[in-house]
Amino acid sequence: MFNSLSDSLDSAFKNLRGQGKISEKNISDALREVRLALLEADVDFTVAKKFIANVKEQALGEKVMKSVKPSELIVKIFHDELTALLGGDNEPLDLTPPARIMMVGLNGAGKTTTSAKLAARLKKEGRRPLLVACDLYRPAAIDQLATLAKQIDVPVYTPDASETDLVKVAKDSLKWAEGQNGTLMIFDTAGRQEIDEKLIGELKELHNFLAPKETLLVADAATGQQAVSVANHFDEAVGITGIVLTKLDGDARGGAALSMRTITGKPIKYAGEGEKIEDFTEFHPERMAGRILD
């Protein structure tokens, strides 16, 4: 996803690296190039501006100018700031029982796939996750979750196709869970092509009923700035506790991933990097920064 950004950053820093002694002008020129690279990658304008200002302030500091290898120090500052921009440290899920995780997001973002990926991962960690299909609009989504659940051997609650009351489904699933010997539940909810009030109203009701420890927004990183505004909308509506960025394996420009944390204030907890169940990792800001700068 970050190939083009990585190339542009590489070329911006190459000029600096070539010079033993660097001037303020060298630094300003390089950072101007970096700023353009960020904007080209679809990073939010104010985020990019503030980011560059932070890097610049440190880069122009005395310690850097007087160091033996100033360019290396500047790349290090950039790396650290990028890590901070992405959230600093990985923030793990709150899994204290009864741990209910509600997955929300637009259609096609990857909610159903991610619900199964997360279940598989938690199972691998020795937990006993349960899946609940709460998309009452698309019977295909219920079937899709049931198929994935079977594949990863995780129990799944599926409502009747005629069911229309989401809170009733949630209630029934809690009853079902009692017999499953598990309290860690992942609820896959309905999405829409775009945010609409009816959907939000229903999700709010479900959220109120479940009082989930985690409400994860599944966001398609390839949708760029739109992903960030979607995150804000869902957060206002149901209060998200974290973000799962999907499709980081694609060739979109990646800027949304870089703006997401700052603009929403919510941690990116996981990353989807492919269609397969195992293409799923904890999101580690430092590793991601390293990859971008590699």
> Given the rule CB under 6 A, which residues bind ligand GDP?
105, 107-113, 141, 191, 218, 246-247, 249-250, 272-275, 279
- Give whichever of 47 and 218 is closer to ligand GDP, judged by the CB atom: 218
Task: With residue 246 as reference, give the H or E element that holds it.
Answer: strand 242-246
- Give whichever of 162 and 193 is closer to ligand GDP, judged by the CB atom: 193
Annotated binding site: 105-112, 188-192, 246-249
Least distance to ligand GDP, CB of residue 11, Å: 28
- Give whichever of 165 and 275 is closer to ligand GDP, judged by the CB atom: 275
Question: Residue 264 corresponds to which tokens in the numbers above?
Answer: 């929403």
Angle formed by the axes of helices 45-59 and 70-85, to 10°?
140
In 3D space, the residue among 78, 85, 84 whose CA is nearest the CA of residue 9 turns out to be 78
Annotated binding site for GTP: 105-112, 188-192, 246-249
The answer to whether the CB of 240 falls within 8 A of the CB of 265 is: no
Question: Residue 54 corresponds to which tokens in the numbers above?
Answer: 């932070």
- Give whichever of 10 and 275 is closer to ligand GDP, judged by the CB atom: 275
For residue 224, give the DSSP letter.
T
Least distance to ligand GDP, CB of residue 187, Å: 12
Specify the 3-state DSSP secondary structure of 270. strand
Least distance to ligand GDP, CB of residue 30, Å: 33
Distance between CA atoms of 157 and 145, rounded to whole angstroms? 9
Q: Shortest Cβ contact with ligand GDP: which residue? A: 272
Specify the 3-state DSSP secondary structure of 214. strand
Least distance to ligand GDP, CB of residue 171, Å: 23
